[in-house]
């Protein structure tokens, strides 16, 4: 009996062990971690997965948003005290629902007369923080957050901050070569610099990312939306074009290959880096880890040449629009609801006790306003509106 019991007990143990043992998964965590640890920690993929993200990864973009908000509130207050009644001008005067032209002049907008006659070069550093209206502010800041957060998480605040500031300044330089005698702001230029950086990151690391079509679609959508917005008055599209080129070149110079952290191998969303796991993954990582000195050197030389050329052209007072008659349509499309007129606006003024009548001597348009006690700068705004 004891022998039979021991046999049954042993038989029972043998039956239980196979049931409790599970086959190893095809992608074990040990193997996956060893692959992921080939590259150093702390480096992020281009479109970082939302897995293990920290709020501190986006302090730069948060700071930039605050600075833009402060600048916009300051501009709005300037407009209120200048007009004495409203924070934003009507759409008939500013189609972006923003301040008047004279207010933009006061807070630092670019204008041909300021750069050539008065040499107010401080405007190059102030203009990139100004917005033409609440519509411009909402679209520009939303797109900057959408693109900038992921770039900062992937490449770090230092590189993205340098690219942002240099692109903003370069965009203002390009704007100065095309600017007309109407005030313009260049805050969208820094956004276009980030878009150029995003494109350079995709090109540099094309084999690493999945969902490249979705990423390009997002880039093109943001780019086209803001370029069309630049066809309205007070926004300069030449600054956008210059900043985009700057961001593209600086991206090739400053960006590194994104480093891969632990994440699900099936992540493949637009902002989730779906790295393709295969037998050649290790070779691909080692190949991408190599620096690209030729690409960096060529991009840096091109950027320095363009920057130097713009500075020389600025000091010489070159106005490219004199050599390019159709360039004005890239910056502002004429429409019956706003004016793209670049010539001097002269109006005949007739005042009564409670009304003021302005007649444009250029086209004969007449408008009666129910006030008389306004500044000369405000009269010039109204004259430009009806002309």
Whether residue 321 contacts residue 327, with contact meaning beta carbons closer than 8 Å, is answered with: yes
Q: What is the pLDDT of residues 96-146, one digit of tens each?
A: 999 988 899 889 999 887 877 666 778 889 999 999 999 999 999 999 999
Q: Does residue 169 register a pLDDT over 90?
A: yes
pTM for the full predicted model: 0.75
Q: What is the pLDDT of residues 320-362, one digit of tens each?
A: 878 887 888 888 888 877 777 776 678 888 888 788 888 887 7
Q: What is the pLDDT of residues 179-224, one digit of tens each?
A: 888 889 999 999 999 999 999 988 887 877 777 788 899 999 999 9
Domain 58-257+291-331: assigned CATH number = 1.20.1540.10
Q: What is the pLDDT of residues 18-63, one digit of tens each?
A: 454 555 444 433 334 433 333 333 333 445 544 345 545 689 999 9
Determine the pLDDT at residue 138: 96
Question: How confident is residue 235, by pLDDT bands cut at 50, 70 and 90?
Answer: very high
- Check residues 93 and 3 and name the one with the higher pLDDT: 93
Closest CA to 111 of 97, 130, 135, 98: 130
CA torsion sign for 228, 336, 345, 81 is: negative
Q: Please state the rounded mean pLDDT for residues 290-315.
A: 89
Q: Which tokens go with 316? A: 């010489």
d(CA 211, CA 204): 15
- Check residues 200 and 17 and name the one with the higher pLDDT: 200
Q: What is each CA distance from 7 to 10, 12, 146, in whole angstroms?
A: 5, 8, 69
Backbone angles phi, psi at 360, to 5 degrees: -75, 125
**Per-domain residue ranges for the chain?**
58-257+291-331, 347-386
d(CA 86, CA 77): 9
How much of the chain exceeds pLDDT 70, in percent?
74
Question: How confident is residue 316, by pLDDT bands cut at 50, 70 and 90?
Answer: confident
Q: What is the pLDDT of residues 237-283, one digit of tens each?
A: 999 999 999 999 999 999 876 654 434 444 444 444 444 444 444 44
d(CA 381, CA 387): 10
E strand residue ranges, the chain: 347-351, 356-360, 366-369
Give the neighbor-by-neighbor strand order of the sheet with 366-369.
Answer: 347-351, 356-360, 366-369
């Amino acid at each position: 009996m004891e022998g039979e019991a021991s046999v049954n007990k042993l038989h029972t143990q043998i039956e239980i062990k196979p049931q409790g043992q599970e086959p190893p998964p095809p992608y074990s965590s040990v193997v996956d971690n060893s692959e992921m640890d080939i590259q150093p920690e702390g480096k992020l993929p281009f479109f970082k997965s939302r897995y293990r993200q920290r709020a501190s990864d986006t302090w730069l973009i948060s700071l930039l948003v605050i600075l833009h908000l402060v600048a916009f509130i300051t501009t709005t207050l300037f407009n209120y005290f200048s007009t004495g009644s409203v924070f934003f001008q009507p759409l008939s005067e500013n189609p972006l629902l923003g301040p008047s032209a004279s207010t933009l002049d006061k807070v630092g907008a670019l204008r041909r007369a300021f750069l050539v006659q008065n040499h107010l070069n401080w405007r190059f550093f102030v203009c990139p923080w100004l917005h033409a209206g609440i519509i411009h502010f909402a679209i520009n800041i939303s797109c900057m957050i959408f693109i900038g957060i992921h770039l900062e998480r992937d490449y770090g605040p230092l590189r993205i901050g340098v690219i942002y500031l240099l692109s903003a300044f370069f965009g203002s330089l390009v704007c100065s070569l095309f600017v007309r005698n109407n005030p313009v702001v260049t805050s969208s230029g820094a956004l276009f610099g980030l878009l150029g950086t995003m494109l350079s990151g995709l090109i540099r690391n094309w084999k690493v990312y999945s969902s490249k079509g979705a990423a390009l679609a997002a880039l093109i959508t943001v780019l086209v939306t803001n370029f069309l917005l630049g066809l309205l008055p007070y926004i300069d599209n030449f600054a956008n074009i210059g900043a985009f080129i700057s961001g593209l070149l600086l991206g090739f110079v400053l960006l590194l290959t994104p480093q891969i952290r632990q994440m699900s191998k099936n992540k493949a969303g637009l902002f989730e880096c779906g790295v393709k796991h295969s037998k050649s993954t290790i070779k691909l990582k080692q190949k991408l880890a190599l620096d690209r000195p030729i690409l960096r050197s060529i991009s840096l030389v091109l950027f320095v040449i363009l920057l130097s050329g713009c500075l020389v052209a600025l000091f010489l007072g070159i106005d490219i629009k004199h050599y390019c008659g159709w360039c004005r349509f890239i910056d502002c499309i004429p429409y019956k609801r706003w004016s793209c007129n670049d010539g001097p606006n002269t109006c005949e003024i007739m005042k009564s006790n409670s009304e003021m009548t302005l007649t444009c001597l250029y086209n004969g348009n007449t408008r009666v306003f129910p006030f008389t006690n306004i500044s000369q700068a405000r009269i010039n705004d109204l004259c430009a509106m009806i002309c």
